[in-house]
Structure 1
């Protein structure tokens, strides 16, 4: 028998109206078997367990309950989206006397999740009332700033994640210290080398992100913009950093990690270069870290700013320049190399040329190269299915791990269409942006989907950044100039008087059909934050990092105050989902 005091305590744990709602209950669920989500559950037994849920940084749901006398095990059940039905959350039941469990989640996939706790003895289980997630989940969104947050650093301009999401690299190309080399923490320094740039490496330790390295070039100079582009290997142990402003030509630095310690390995430059180029503007690395692509959209060998991509291979000791790739038909000012993406094997490459056009109308193109017996050969030139000026198709590009899916951003798309496969001819939303998805079929690349934001607005630049999960079924799109002031997940999408707030959009593919599944905002949205400038989705699709290089709060380090003082303009921040 349960005492009235204990019963009251359990009842209080269920009722948590600020974040959650108790939605009935049942005692007929079996772990591993989905319940009928449309069925009305029977009333909760008077002696049933009581489950409470709190949100924790980062990306963590914490379940707690009061231990029940006589139970032999507990079972947590999850209905991840509120409609799929319940299955077991843990591979094995939780031991008797357990009173808490933490569950790390991909937040955008859990906005409607429901949970039930079963207290079991032998073959008999009592079910708690379901606890449902509600609200914008802002409390569970990780918030990361540099330890020494300084105005104009642009922390979050570029972002890279290891495959498992456990290693995070963040570029701050506007950082201005004259520090050289690598340290575990940022050393004190005067800001006397403007825009020299820095990269921060963080590793996940439990629920928090710990800074592992403060990475500067060994020979930094003013306006290097070190950190403007990044690439990580699948394990996170190999890192490439672009410094496209170095000497008005650009260089790339490579680093490796061994037993948690980082060291600089090599500085790479184009074998032939001219003035005012941007070698290192974009980067892509194979999963094993043995192939590196370097974009230089202002390379001018045949035509001004026609662009090039440089292929480097690692022989086990050092990086060697293998070949320089150009479009089969390079156009002046095409910007070939503005974006690059590699498959995991490193033998399939996508290159964006957003200003490519025979009439110089910036319609743009994307080029697919494949490595085979004849070396690197262009396999396909892709364009948006609809012709329009200033599309800037090729602004961004992302390949799936197997190279079977390609997403291409067109930040200049002007259609006011919404969602998937709308009308592209309505050009009433200038620079609202779009993303096109292609699916490889042998050597052909048929167009699969035309994606727009659910709330397209003029100058949002949806498609400025894109990232795909390894299987190609989850796509994240950045729109850094979107104007809603909503916070967290799936808030109001209405435009406001603020500018350049920024947003990210998550699309998922199921049975070859794409649909938008989440609208992602910072927990402290603000004007000029440019949330979505940089973003990265881990290959396993379970961690999303979004950069807001214009974020201006005075917070610092891990999970500081979501300050809205705006006293630290363009210091920048990273958000983890």
Structure 2
């Protein structure tokens, strides 16, 4: 039987009314709280981490729970699919791997496009190896979601993390393998697959032009048109991190730029997350130290025009604190950039709500970006990590709080007001 998601009336619209009236400063004691729609698994279990990954496209929302049970297989992982009906989101399917194994982390990454869903399972069995990783594809047909294919690395190795991050567009699927040892430990790689006929066919392997050990090339990925961005959170210089840009030429991809932060420092994690919309790219650096505040985090905005990449803005939280991890997640919708800070402490007695999490919203204003809001969950508790994952489509923003409800997890669908 289908289950209806839990819905609450939100203060979100009130918050944006205040913005329209000119009250745009977020340095106030009381923050707006968001509960437009709250999603949970129909079969929650402690430790499932529902909300570890999220994706939205049109009226469909996909939420990954990397440690959920798959039938009698405990901790194998699952993805829950919801469909919008009016103001409600109806749970319509629970996807699991047909060859589910405990600890596979099916749902650690998820991408959705129309009636097609790709699910990363970075510790799945592949090529006879117990934890090589794989990606599973499901397609909606006549109202039902059906398993379509399983893809894996053409050169699998245990714990390469194949399936750590995904991008899906048209007939193109990009899968990262951030711990692949291409000549050195944890250099990382990405694989391009094409849908031809009824099959997903391996097309190309991508690596950084200047690979270094422990770079984790493939930490994140974003695909827009003929532009592909791949994050390497520990790439040089000095392990600050980088994003590599590739352009499609025919059916192949060619690296044309390595993007680094203008003020990068060791272990900033620049490239931990990346998002693109039009010619704008946003990159999260969750362990950056803006103003000397340790691991407060930052996000960087770049304009990509042809092969020219220009730094446009550096975004930070107006009330950023030590170890907030602003930049854990990033997503874009129109002229708004959303940045998750999953370890933000909330309230006057912040220690009681440590790591509750928050989302910061920035709007383009000419050639700059201005903070227009800070969102927290209306029912948030310490340790929820609201803002851990983000995905935007149109005026809808989905975020995961993977440790909510005693680590069973929750997700929220928010409506962005114009």
Determine if the TM-score, normalized by the shorter chain, exceeds 0.5. yes
Match of 1:313, SS state, is: strand
After the TM superposition, which residues 276-425 of structure 1 pair with which residues of structure 2 at under 5 Å, given as runs? 276-286=159-169, 288=170, 290-343=171-224, 345=225, 347-357=226-236, 361-373=238-250, 375-400=252-277, 402=278, 404-415=279-290
* 1:510 equivalent in alignment to 2:360: no
Of 368, 375, 399, which aligns to 1:546? 399
Deviation, structure 1 residue 260: 2.0
Q: 1:232 to 1:375 in 2, by over 3 A?
A: same
Query: 1:58·1:576 contact (CA, 8 Å) conserved in 2?
Result: no
Q: Distance in 2 between matches of 1:383 and 1:476?
A: 21
Unaligned runs of 5+ in 1: 1-55, 62-104, 115-134, 180-189, 416-425, 486-491, 553-568
Deviation, structure 1 residue 454: 1.3
Deviation, structure 1 residue 208: 1.3
Deviation, structure 1 residue 107: 7.5
Unaligned runs of 5+ in 2: 1-5, 22-29, 125-129
Query: 1:58·1:208 contact (CA, 8 Å) conserved in 2?
Result: no
Deviation, structure 1 residue 498: 3.0
Q: 1:366 to 1:112 in 2, by over 3 A?
A: closer
Query: 1:141·1:523 contact (CA, 8 Å) conserved in 2?
Result: no
Query: 1:106·1:543 contact (CA, 8 Å) conserved in 2?
Result: no
Match of 1:25 in 2: none
Q: Distance in 2 between matches of 1:509 and 1:379?
A: 27
| Greater gyration radius | 1
Q: Distance in 1 between matches of 2:239 and 2:263?
A: 13
Match of 1:239 in 2: 117
Q: 1:316 to 1:59 in 2, by over 3 A?
A: farther
Q: Distance in 1 between matches of 2:302 and 2:32?
A: 33
Root-mean-square deviation (CA, aligned residues, Å) is 2.2
Q: Distance in 1 between matches of 2:179 and 2:401?
A: 26
After the TM superposition, which residues 146-545 of structure 1 pair with which residues of structure 2 at under 5 Å, given as runs? 146-162=41-57, 164=58, 166-177=59-70, 179=71, 193-233=73-113, 235=114, 237-246=115-124, 247-286=130-169, 288=170, 290-343=171-224, 345=225, 347-357=226-236, 361-373=238-250, 375-400=252-277, 402=278, 404-415=279-290, 426-427=291-292, 429-469=293-333, 471=334, 473-485=335-347, 495-538=350-393, 540=394, 542-545=395-398
Deviation, structure 1 residue 58: 6.1
Deviation, structure 1 residue 328: 0.5
C-alpha offsets along residues 397-446 of structure 1, whole Å, 9 cap, x if unaligned?
Answer: 0011x3x111111111011xxxxxxxxxx32x111110000001321100
Q: 1:414 to 1:218 in 2, by over 3 A?
A: same
Q: 1:110 to 1:285 in 2, by over 3 A?
A: farther
- May I ask how many residue pairs the two structures share in their alignment? 396
TM-score, length basis structure 1? 0.66
Higher relative contact order (CA 8 A, sep 6+): 2
Query: 2:32·2:375 contact (CA, 8 Å) conserved in 1?
Result: no
Deviation, structure 1 residue 276: 2.0
C-alpha offsets along residues 327-383 of structure 1, whole Å, 9 cap, x if unaligned?
Answer: 00111110000000000x3x210000001126xx42111000000148210010000
Match of 1:264, SS state, is: strand
Match of 1:562 in 2: none
Match of 2:326, SS state, is: coil
Deviation, structure 1 residue 259: 3.0
